[in-house]
Amino acid sequence: MLEMADYAARNSDSVDSELLANLRSDAMQIRVCVLTALVRYAFSRVNEGICVNALRAVSAYTEMSARMGELLQGNALGAAPGFAGAV
């Protein structure tokens, strides 16, 4: 998702910068949550904390996907129809 946000920023002048900032923030939050869950799992500490981190990652991903759809509908469809179809 970070790469998609960067692509949109590079290839369109009309992209909402706040939306891109939120997408980047969500993508980084997902990475942190997933890495935290993987590290905890690797140390065999399967507990409620891992489930909470996994839930956070899923929630952030869902929100970010909705924002990416908003970005594509509002900006990228006209500039890059092939890119929008690939998503």
pTM, two decimals, is: 0.51
Q: Which domain holds residue 65?
A: 2-77
Alpha-carbon distance 36 to 41, whole Å?
9
Residue 64 lies in a domain: yes
Residue 86 lies in a domain: no
Residue 54 lies in a domain: yes
Residue 84 lies in a domain: no
Summarised one tens digit per residue, pLDDT across range 22-73 is: 888 988 998 898 888 888 777 765 667 777 888 888 888 998 888 888 888 7
The yes-or-no verdict on residue 17 having pLDDT over 70 is yes
Residue 55 lies in a domain: yes
Domains held by the chain: number: 1
CA nearest 66: which of 22, 18, 10? 22
